C-alpha cells in the first residue's frame, strides 16, 4: 500500500511539473485552466493521503491484534513448560517410590525363601515323626505277640490266668476309651478348621464381589462423564456453526475462542477415554482374580453358602413358629406347641432334600453374581469401546493424510498420532483379556458340572468308610488322625503364601503399568514442547 501511494505521489509531482511548464508556454486562459487542474490534483492528493492514513491505522490495529495473540501463545507456552517441570518432579518422586518398593520386594522374597526352608524342615520333621510312629506300631505288635506267648505259658496256672484276663479286659477298655477320646478331639479340631476356612473363604468372596462392584460403578461413572463430554462438544460445534453462518458480532464468544475451547474439551475427552480404558482393565483384572479365587475354593465356598442358606431357612421357620404360637389362644396353649413341634419335625424331615437342593441353587446363584455384574457392565461398555476404536482409526487416517499432504509437519503429526496408537493397543489388550476371561468361565462351568457328577460317588465312598470305621482302635489311630490335621494346617499356610505372592505380583504389574503410563505422558509432553506452542495448537 505504501509503495502504491508513493508511486502515485511521484506521478502527481511529475504532472505538476509538466503543468507548470505548459503554464509558462500557454496563454493566460490555459494558465487559469492549469491552476484549476492543480487545485483538483491537490484535492485528490489530500484524499489519497487521508486514505493512506486510514490504511496505516487499520494495519496498526491488525498488528496489535497479532501481538496480543502472540503474547497469549507465549503465556500458554510458559504454562506448558511449568506443567512439564511439575510432571518431571512427580516422575522423579514416583521413581524413588518404585526403588523403595523394589527394596521391600527383595526383602519379602528373602523372607519367603526363609519360610520355604522352615517349611521343608517341618516336612522332614513330620516324616521323621511318621517313621517313629510306624516303629512304635511295629514294636507294639511285637509286644502283643510276646503277650500272646506269655498267655500261652501262663495258661497252665488257673489263678494267674484269671488275674491276667482281668488285667487285659481293663487295659482294652482303657485303650478303647483313649481311642474314642482322641478320635472325638481330632473330629472337633477338623470341624473347627473347616469352619474357620469356610469363614475366611466367605469373607474373601465378599471382598472380591465388593471390589468388582466398585470397579463396575467407576466404569459406569466414566461412561456418564463421556456422555456429558460428548454433549458439550456437540454444543460447541453447534455454536461454532451458528457463528460461521451468522458472522461474529455482539458480546458472545468468537470463532477462535470456541475453537480453543473445543480443543480443550477434546483433550479432556481423550483423558476420559484413557481413564475409561484403565478402569475397564482394572475391572477385568479384578474379575480374573475373583474367578481364580472361585476356581481354587469353589467346593468350600459352595458348602459355606449352602450352610448359610440352610441356617437362614431354619431361623425363618423358627420365627414363624414363634409367631404362630403367640397368636394361638390361651385354651389351646397346651396342645398347640406339641402339634406345631411335631409338624415342624415332620416337615423338616420331609423337606430336607428339597431344602438342600434349594440351598445348592442359591449358592450357585451367589457364585454367578460376580460374572453377571461383569457381563452386564461389559455389555454396557461395548458401544463406548467401539466408538473409541472408530475415533482412533479416523484420527490415524486423518493424521496419515495430513502427513502425506503436508510433509513439513511430520513431527507434529507423529506427536498427535502417538496417543491414539497407544489407545488402540490398550483396546486390543482389553479385548484379549475379555476373551481369556470368557474361556476361563467356560472351563469353570465344565469343572462345576464334573464336580456335580462326582458328588454322588464321593458320598457313597464316605458312607462306606463310615460303615467300616471301628472305634476300638489303639493309639496308632489317634496318631493317624492327627497327621491329616497337620497336613491341613500346612496346606492353609501354603495357600496363604500363594495368595501373598499373587498379591505381590499384582502390585508389581500395577507399578509397571503406572510407569508405562507416566513414560507415555512424559513423551507426549516432550513432543508438545519440542514442536512449539503454535504448531501444537493448530495441529
Q: What does the alpha-carbon distance between residue 182 and residue 188 come to, in Å, rounded to a whole number?
A: 10
Count Cβ atoms below 10 Å from residue 442 Cβ, excluding itself. 10
The most confident of 179-188, 362-371, 385-394, by mean pLDDT? 385-394
Q: What does the alpha-carbon distance between residue 53 and residue 483 come to, in Å, rounded to a whole number?
A: 108
Give the contacts of 186 (CB within 8 A, at least 6 positions apart): 478, 481, 482, 485
Q: What does the alpha-carbon distance between residue 384 and residue 225 come to, in Å, rounded to a whole number?
A: 12
Residue-wise pLDDT for 85-111, tens only, equals: 999 999 999 999 999 998 999 999 999
What single DSSP character describes residue 329?
A: -
Residue-wise pLDDT for 34-82, tens only, equals: 678 788 888 888 888 888 888 888 888 888 888 888 888 888 888 888 9
What are the sequence ranges of the domains in the chain? 1-63, 190-246+255-323+356-453+479-539
Query: Which residue has better confidence, 153 or 467?
Result: 153
Give the contacts of 318 (CB within 8 A, at least 6 positions apart): none
The pLDDT of residue 435 = 66
Q: Which of 423, 424, 425, 402 is nearest to 412 (CA)?
A: 402
The pLDDT of residue 410 = 44
Residue-wise pLDDT for 298-317, tens only, equals: 676 677 777 777 777 777 77
Q: What does the alpha-carbon distance between residue 190 and residue 488 come to, in Å, rounded to a whole number?
A: 9
* Helix pair 369-405, 158-246: axis angle to 10 deg: 40
Classify 250 as helix, strand or coil.
Answer: coil
Task: Kindly state the average pLDDT of the residues 494-515.
Answer: 75
Q: What is the mean pLDDT of the chain?
A: 72
* Helix pair 475-531, 158-246: axis angle to 10 deg: 20
Cell of 36: 484549476
* Residue 367 contacts residue 302 (beta carbons within 8 Å): yes
Amino acid at each position: 500500500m505504501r509503495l502504491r501511494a508513493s508511486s502515485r505521489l511521484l506521478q502527481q509531482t511529475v504532472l505538476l511539473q509538466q503543468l507548470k511548464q505548459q503554464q509558462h508556454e500557454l496563454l493566460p486562459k490555459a494558465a487559469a485552466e492549469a491552476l484549476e487542474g492543480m487545485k483538483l490534483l491537490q484535492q485528490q492528493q489530500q484524499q489519497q493521503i487521508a486514505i493512506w492514513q486510514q490504511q496505516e491505522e487499520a494495519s496498526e490495529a491488525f498488528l496489535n491484534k497479532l501481538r496480543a495473540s502472540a503474547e497469549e501463545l507465549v503465556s500458554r507456552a510458559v504454562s506448558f513448560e511449568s506443567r512439564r517441570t511439575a510432571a518431571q518432579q512427580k516422575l522423579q518422586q514416583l521413581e524413588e517410590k518404585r526403588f523403595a518398593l523394589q527394596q521391600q520386594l527383595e526383602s519379602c522374597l528373602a523372607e519367603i525363601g526363609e519360610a520355604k526352608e522352615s517349611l521343608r524342615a517341618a516336612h522332614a520333621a513330620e516324616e521323621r515323626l511318621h517313621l517313629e510312629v510306624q516303629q512304635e506300631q511295629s514294636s507294639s505288635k511285637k509286644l502283643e505277640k510276646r503277650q500272646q506267648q506269655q498267655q500261652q505259658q501262663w495258661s497252665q496256672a488257673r489263678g494267674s490266668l484269671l488275674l491276667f484276663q482281668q488285667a487285659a479286659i481293663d487295659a482294652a477298655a482303657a485303650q478303647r476309651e483313649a481311642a474314642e477320646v482322641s478320635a472325638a478331639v481330632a473330629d472337633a479340631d477338623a470341624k473347627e478348621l473347616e469352619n474357620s476356612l469356610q469363614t475366611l473363604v466367605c469373607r474373601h468372596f465378599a471382598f472380591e464381589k465388593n471390589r468388582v462392584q466398585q470397579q463396575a460403578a467407576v466404569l459406569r461413572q466414566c461412561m456418564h462423564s463421556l456422555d456429558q463430554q460428548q454433549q458439550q462438544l456437540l454444543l460447541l460445534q453447534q455454536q461454532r456453526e451458528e457463528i460461521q453462518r451468522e458472522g461474529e458480532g455482539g458480546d458472545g464468544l468468537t470463532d477462535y475462542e470456541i475453537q480453543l475451547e473445543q480443543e480443550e474439551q477434546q483433550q479432556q475427552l481423550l483423558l476420559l477415554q484413557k481413564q475409561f480404558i484403565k478402569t475397564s482393565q482394572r475391572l477385568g483384572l479384578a474379575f480374573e482374580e475373583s474367578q481364580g479365587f472361585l476356581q481354587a475354593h469353589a467346593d468350600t465356598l459352595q458348602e459355606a453358602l449352602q450352610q448359610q442358606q440352610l441356617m437362614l431357612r431354619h431361623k425363618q421357620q423358627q420365627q414363624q413358629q414363634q409367631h404362630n404360637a403367640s397368636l394361638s389362644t390361651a385354651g389351646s396353649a397346651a396342645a398347640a406347641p406339641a402339634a406345631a413341634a411335631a409338624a415342624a419335625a415332620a416337615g423338616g424331615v420331609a423337606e430336607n432334600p428339597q431344602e438342600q437342593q434349594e440351598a445348592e441353587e442359591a449358592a450357585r446363584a451367589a457364585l454367578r453374581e460376580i460374572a453377571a455384574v461383569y457381563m452386564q457392565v461389559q455389555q454396557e461398555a461395548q458401544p463406548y469401546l467401539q466408538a473409541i476404536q472408530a475415533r482412533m482409526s479416523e484420527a490415524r487416517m486423518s493424521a496419515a493424510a495430513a502427513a502425506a499432504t503436508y510433509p513439513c509437519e511430520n513431527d507434529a503429526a507423529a506427536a498427535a498420532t502417538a496417543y491414539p496408537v497407544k489407545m488402540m493397543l490398550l483396546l486390543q489388550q482389553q479385548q484379549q483379556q475379555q476373551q481369556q476371561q470368557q474361556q476361563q468361565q467356560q472351563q469353570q462351568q465344565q469343572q462345576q458340572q464334573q464336580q456335580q457328577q462326582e458328588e454322588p460317588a464321593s458320598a457313597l465312598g464316605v458312607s462306606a468308610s463310615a460303615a467300616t470305621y471301628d472305634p476300638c482302635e489303639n493309639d496308632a489311630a489317634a496318631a493317624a488322625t492327627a497327621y491329616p490335621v497337620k497336613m491341613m494346617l500346612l496346606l492353609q499356610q501354603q495357600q496363604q503364601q500363594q495368595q501373598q505372592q499373587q498379591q505381590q505380583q499384582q502390585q508389581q504389574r500395577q507399578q509397571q503399568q503406572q510407569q508405562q503410563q507416566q513414560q507415555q505422558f512424559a513423551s507426549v509432553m516432550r513432543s508438545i514442547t519440542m514442536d512449539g506452542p503454535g504448531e501444537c495448537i493448530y495441529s
